[in-house]
Chain A
Amino acid sequence: MNLLLWVGVALAGGAGALLRFLVDGQVSARVGRSFPYGTLVVNVSGAVALGLLIGMTLRPETVLLAGTGAVGAYTTFSTWMFETQRLGEDRQLTGLLSNIVVSLLAGILAAEVGAEVGRALGGAL
């Protein structure tokens, strides 16, 4: 653990947060519905990315930078929960439940697919 790594995590985190802002904004503005597709896309794609990183068994510093820093800042638990609560305020029970169930199932599947692909790639390298 050195200063360089700390700065690296901060920078990667910043980039991840920015990327989320762009992706979520684009998806939400395109779809224009009250169901939070933007956050779903962000979280599922983040799960694929993290699965990939872990599957590839890289050096611990790289995993810290890309995984904790970038993907950690890119994906968001709080927004997922916040937008689910807002669906509840609108009495959209179907939306509320599907936001939880779909996010969970798609997330696990995405992480699994990412890990498999990562292992295949890691073996090839």
Chain B
Amino acid sequence: MTTYFGERQRVGDRFFADAQLELFGRHEIATSVLLRGISGFGAKHQLRTDRLLTLSEDLPLVSVALDSRAKIEAVADELSDLAHRGLVTLERARLVRDELGSIELPEELREATKLTVYVGRQERVYRAPAFAAICELLHRRGVDGATVFLGVDGTSHGRRSRARFFATNAEVPMMIIAVGTGQTIARVLPELGGLLRRPMVSVERVRVCKRDGELINRPHPLPCRDHLGTPLWQKLMVYTSERSRRGGEPIHRALVRRLRASAARGATVLRGIWGFHGQLPPHGDRIWQLGRSVPVCTIIIDSPDRIGASFDIVDELTTEHGVVTSEMVPALAWVTEDRPTSRPRLARHRF
């Protein structure tokens, strides 16, 4: 389950984000992480950006929660009662925990695979930070790209830990998203199992649309509804770097501007702290530098009939850099104040 909300939203006397993570903790969700976005816009096309002081007052928040279907559906039900405004999507993913020895990927995961690894902020692998060690391994094994996102709150193996200002925050989760061919990911998995003490990873099927400017595949042409009439949705994820620019501005800024001027229903930009895509070795920010060089990820969710137009904009802006993936989102619910939301039904569609 992934949720997209504004960070100022409140429930009673506390922030919605806090209430949401408390809910995840209460249900002992296997893994969840709360991420702060740097810019974006929603259905109302209201721009939020960390660039301008006045427009940075209600930046987007993204939460990702992973567990069995029954647990996630129970949480999603409570969540839609709690929230006023936002977006909830449900995705199918395969969660692998603790035992990462011999994993046999099903046929459909062989095309391209999104691998997500969850580690603690202070987790270490042979004295190196776990996230850097994992990126190094993924880069060496020829994975297309990986981005590390710093969580500010989350649950890990069912236990909640929230980042505080004066604390070591060792257990607060980080999320590493990597994209590669099914074979590469399958080969990397046992090695990851050897690196981490209690691994927690998920694998999902995606399609790699672009890599370093080269168009590989357009997003799957999907119908707007499955055979039972349940609506389907699609998600594009654009991995670029603060360093990769288009006409003077970073690609993700141009992307948000262009998408906002189009009919797209929304976009959210998350900034990573470390990562790589393509040939560049894993990198992050250095101290005393003005220009940033960390990786960023732009998430675009829309219905299959509109995603093509958004993809054209993405395609036009990523002529040299970046990895673009597309995936199916089988269930989505807009949460609004005036309309009661029911839990979205999972659509079934094979492609």
Is B77 part of the contact surface with A, judged by Cβ < 8 Å? no
Query: In whole angstroms, how far apart are the Cα atoms of A94 and B245 in the complex?
Result: 14
Residues of A within 8 A of B202 (CB): none
Residues of B within 8 A of A85 (CB): 290
Instruction: Count A/B pairs, Cβ under 8 Å.
Output: 62
Output the least CB separation between B42 and chain A (Å): 14
Question: Contact at A83–B291, with CB atoms within 8 Å?
Answer: no
Instruction: Identify whether the interface residues of A are mostly helix, strand, loop, or mixed.
Output: helix
Question: Contact at B260–A91, with CB atoms within 8 Å?
Answer: no
Stretch of B52-60, B123-131, B333-341 contacting A (4+ beta carbons < 8 Å): B52-60
Stretch of A25-33, A49-57, A117-125 contacting B (4+ beta carbons < 8 Å): A25-33
Asked whether A90 and B52 contact (CB < 8 A) given A29-B47, A32-B47, the answer is no
Query: In whole angstroms, how far apart are the Cα atoms of A79 and B51 in the complex?
Result: 11
Is A38 part of the contact surface with B, judged by Cβ < 8 Å? yes
Question: Contact at B290–A83, with CB atoms within 8 Å?
Answer: no
Question: Contact at B290–A88, with CB atoms within 8 Å?
Answer: yes
Question: Contact at A21–B54, with CB atoms within 8 Å?
Answer: yes
Query: In whole angstroms, how far apart are the Cα atoms of A18 and B52 in the complex?
Result: 16
**Seed contacts A29-B55, A79-B53, A86-B52; 9 additional CB < 8 Å A-B pairs:** A24-B52, A24-B53, A24-B54, A32-B257, A34-B51, A34-B249, A86-B50, A88-B291, A90-B249
Query: In whole angstroms, how far apart are the Cα atoms of A92 and B291 in the complex?
Result: 9
Question: Contact at A29–B46, with CB atoms within 8 Å?
Answer: yes
**Which of A28, A89, A91 has a CB less than 8 Å from the CB of B52?**
A28
Query: In whole angstroms, how far apart are the Cα atoms of A57 and B291 in the complex?
Result: 46
How many residues of A sit at the interface, in one of the four size bands? 20 to 34
Output the least CB separation between B41 and chain A (Å): 9
Query: In whole angstroms, how far apart are the Cα atoms of A95 and B290 in the complex?
Result: 14
Which positions 233-284 of chain B face chain A at CB distance < 8 Å?
242-243, 245, 248-250, 253, 257, 260-261
Is B292 part of the contact surface with A, judged by Cβ < 8 Å? yes
Query: In whole angstroms, how far apart are the Cα atoms of A53 and B287 in the complex?
Result: 45
Question: Contact at A32–B242, with CB atoms within 8 Å?
Answer: no
Which among A29, A33, A38, A90 has the highest number of chain B CB atoms within 10 Å? A90
Residues of B within 8 A of A83 (CB): 51-53
Is B3 part of the contact surface with A, judged by Cβ < 8 Å? no
Is A36 part of the contact surface with B, judged by Cβ < 8 Å? yes
Question: Contact at B257–A90, with CB atoms within 8 Å?
Answer: no
Output the least CB separation between A18 and chain B (Å): 12
Residues of B within 8 A of A90 (CB): 51, 242, 249-250, 253, 291-292
Residues of B within 8 A of A25 (CB): 54-55
Is B20 part of the contact surface with A, judged by Cβ < 8 Å? no
Query: In whole angstroms, how far apart are the Cα atoms of A91 and B245 in the complex?
Result: 9
